[in-house]
Amino acid sequence: MPPNPPPRRQAPANSRPYPALACLSDQDFNAIAHLVESHTGIHLGQAKRNLVISRLSRRLRALGLGDFSQYVTLLCSGRADAELVEMINQITTNKTDFFREPHHFKFLSEQVLPTLENQAPRLGPKHLRAWSAGCSSGEEAYSLAMTLEQFCSPRPGLTWKLLATDLDTNMLRLASSGCYLHEQMAKMPRELLFKYFHRRRESGGYVYEVKPYLRHMISFGKFNLIHAGYPRRTPLDFIFCRNVLIYFDGPQKQAIVEKFVDSLRPGGWLFLGHSESLLHTNRKLLCVGPTIYRKP
Ligand SMILES: C[S@@+](CC[C@H](N)C(=O)[O-])C[C@H]1O[C@@H](n2cnc3c(N)ncnc32)[C@H](O)[C@@H]1O
């Protein structure tokens, strides 16, 4: 029996923090913002204060702590690695969807994949390699997998593999389960739903599970984009890193893009989110479409 989908992050029945927790001093907010930025690159300005209160109040409740200063003391104690992971899991914004920003998937199947096919050697297969960086709960990675599979399966000369990474361990658990609820499938074309998912009924309604052969084409793993260790051994044909850089400041974003450039093969493509344009900020990439860039 396949596993049940792990629980998604849910707002508690009453998502407002209870009064004792609503008070977050400047000092505690700054300490949390500093920890978050140094571990993830995510910049939390003052405007994110209420977000910090509402997302971390449930951690205080779970730990039985009475206020944020106790929580900050715990986080800074040097003995709270597991809680640091939990805290970061709560702070990250994981909004995603299947085939989000659909023009990117159209560009991929109409421009990128035919170009790669034309570069295939006359003898032997061509192996396509791609990365969904900041994959959240996996919808982006599976949308890429379906696009790659649709294109490559009738072309025996093309094989593909996908790397999908995120910092948030809860999201990675969801992603590798490959299980989604009925309401998450609303925009999925019916033919893809039937072709790539098994449906089963559970007490809460229908659950859709990605078919194992497709799931096994993707390697899910934890990777922090502000750390070293970017894929280098096999240069990548394209990278999707969408709606992730928006949380970083300018220099951090620049540094990450430089590392993506090094991971791409010459001629490889980088796809960013709709509000993450690199216009005027990067000379190593050519803009070839809306938030689509190519390494010369
Ligand atoms: C808004 S989601 C975007 C998901 C997907 N790419 C999309 O566009 O639908 C942003 C994701 O980036 C991840 N993230 C944030 N900071 C990160 C970091 N330093 N390293 C890796 N992933 C990070 C978050 O955990 C979150 O799942």
**Crossing angle (nearest 10°) for helices 68-75 and 81-91:** 120
**Distance, CA of 227 to CA of 39 (rounded, Å):** 9
Q: Is the pLDDT of residue 181 over 80?
A: yes
Query: What pLDDT shows up at residue 12?
Result: 46
Q: Report the pLDDT value the prediction gives residue 281, as an integer from 0 to 100.
A: 66
What is the distance in A from the centroid of ligand 1 to the CA of 135? 6
Token readout for 90 is 């709560």
- The pLDDT, as a whole number, for residue 131 is 98
What does the mean pLDDT of the chain come to? 91
CA–CA separation, 204 vs 34, rounded Å?
Answer: 40
- How confident is the model at residue 103, as a pLDDT? 97
Task: Taking residues 62-66, report their average pLDDT.
Answer: 92
Which two tokens mark 179? 């299980």
Which distant-in-sequence residues (6+ apart) come within 8 Å of 100 by Cβ? 139, 140, 143, 242, 243
Mean pLDDT of 113-124: 86
- Whether the per-residue pLDDT at 183 is higher than 60: the answer is yes
Q: What is the mean pLDDT of residues 133-154?
A: 98
CA distance 44 to 200: 40
Give the pLDDT confidence score for residue 155 in this predicted structure.
Answer: 93
Q: What is the mean pLDDT of residues 14-30?
A: 70
The pLDDT of residue 4: 52
Nearest 5°: CA angle at 147, between 266 and 137?
A: 95
Mean pLDDT along residues 290-295: 95
* Ligand 1 atom 7, closest CA: 96
Contact call for residues 280 and 249 (beta carbons, < 8 A): no
Ligand 1 pocket check for 40: Cβ under 6 Å: yes
Residue 34 CA to residue 41 CA, distance in Å, equals: 10
Please compute the mean of the pLDDT values over residues 259-279 and round it to a whole number. Answer: 93
- What's residue 8's pLDDT? 53
Task: Give the domains, in start order, of the chain with CATH numbers.
Answer: 19-89 (1.10.155.10), 102-177+213-294 (3.40.50.150)
pLDDT digits (tens, 9 = 90+) for 76-98: 998 889 999 999 999 999 999 99
Which of 173, 244, 248, 256 for a ligand 1 pocket mutation test, highest count of atoms within 8 Å of Cβ?
244
Between strands 126-133 and 236-241, the pairing is parallel
pLDDT above 90 covers what percent of the chain? Answer: 81
- pLDDT for res 23: 85
pTM, whole model, 2 decimals?
0.92
Token reading at 272:
């960013």
Q: What residues are labeled active site?
A: 55, 166
Percent of the chain with pLDDT over 70: 92
Instruction: Supply 208's token pair.
Output: 């859709």
Task: Measure the CA angle with vertex 215, ends 209 and 220; round to 5°.
Answer: 115
Residue 255 has pLDDT above 70, yes or no: yes
149-169 average pLDDT score = 96
Indicate the top mutation candidate among 84, 92, 252 to test ligand 1's pocket, ranked by most ligand atoms within 8 A of CB.
92
| Predicted confidence (pLDDT) per residue in 202-251, tens digit | 988 999 999 999 999 999 999 999 999 999 999 999 999 999 999 998 89
Give mean pLDDT, residues 108-131. 91
Q: Is the CB of 259 under 6 A from ligand 1?
A: no
The least confident of 15-24, 120-129, 195-204 is 15-24
Q: Could you tell me the distance, in angstroms and rounded to a whole number, from the CA of residue 107 to the centre of ligand 1?
A: 22
Distance CA 138, CA 88 (A): 18
Closest by CA to 141, choosing from 211, 234, 214, is 214
Q: Is the pLDDT of residue 190 over 50?
A: yes
Q: What share of the chain is helix, strand, coil (3-state, %, to 5)?
A: 45, 20, 35
Atom of ligand 1 nearest to the CA of 168: 25
Does the pLDDT at position 70 exceed 70? yes
Q: How confident is the model at residue 5 (pLDDT cuts 50, 70, 90)?
A: low
Distance 136 CA to ligand 1 centre (A): 6
